[in-house]
Amino acid sequence: MSAPEQPQIYLLTPPVFELSVFPGQLNAVLEAHDVACIRLALATREEDRISRAADACREVAHAHDVALVLNDHVSLAERLGLDGVHLSDAAKSVRDARKALGPDAIVGSFCGTSRHDGMTAGEAGADYVSFGPLTGMAEEATAENALFAWWSEMIEVPIVAEGGLTLDTVKRLAPVTDFFGVGEEIWGDEDPAAALARLMDPIG
């Protein structure tokens, strides 16, 4: 994913969803919004459930010319014909994933709040890094504005802001991030497409 001129939407699926319902919800969101990429972010590690979910989401995503990446399962992403992987272990697996999937696949890396991990992931071949959460419990470290501001000024690798997005964080981070990772912020709403429109209103 290349860095856009203004932030774009990077959509995360819910950790659990009904195969009979979610593809329709996803299609409605893609009909209403320009989405740069979708991450299949299931909580399960069961390959059969992941495969069935990936098949359903891939059909919807590719009908809208949107890439679909999978959390962590490199070999499964390749076998299912997905567009790449999102790695949750900072920079540890980036080089191996790139080697396995080739130069054209999307390889992203979640780096928490660590500038160092982000730089290491970028050097290892990540197409993007994501930082977060943006809001959290009092004792939980959060990714501050300064991290995004520094990165956007100094580093060319695109960044995703994710984890507890609010109208305020979207407004504050819009000048210094490339993508907003939107997931559970919208899927609990009875109209996820409308919820996404409200959340992204500051970048209208």
Residue 130's domain comprises 8-203
**Residue 111 domain-assigned (yes or no):** yes
- At 113, is the secondary structure helix, strand, or coil? coil
**Residue 179 domain-assigned (yes or no):** yes
**Residue 121 domain-assigned (yes or no):** yes
pTM summary value: 0.95
How does residue 106 score in pLDDT terms, banded at 50, 70 and 90? very high
Q: Distance between CA atoms of 193 and 195, rounded to whole angstroms?
A: 5
Composition of the chain by helix, strand, coil, percent to 5: 45, 20, 40
Burial of 65 (0-12, 13-18, 19+ CB in 10 A): exposed
Tens-place pLDDT, residues 34-77: 999 999 999 999 999 999 999 999 999 999 999 999 999 999 99
**Residue 75 domain-assigned (yes or no):** yes
User: How many domains does the chain divide into?
Assistant: 1
**Residue 3 domain-assigned (yes or no):** no
**Residue 98 domain-assigned (yes or no):** yes
**Triad 134, 150, 3: Cα angle to 5°:** 80
pLDDT score, position 99: 96
pLDDT score, position 4: 66
Mean pLDDT throughout 123-143?
89
Residue that the structure tokens 């950790």 belong to: 15
- Amino acid present at 69: V
Assign residue 130 the CATH number of its domain.
3.20.20.70
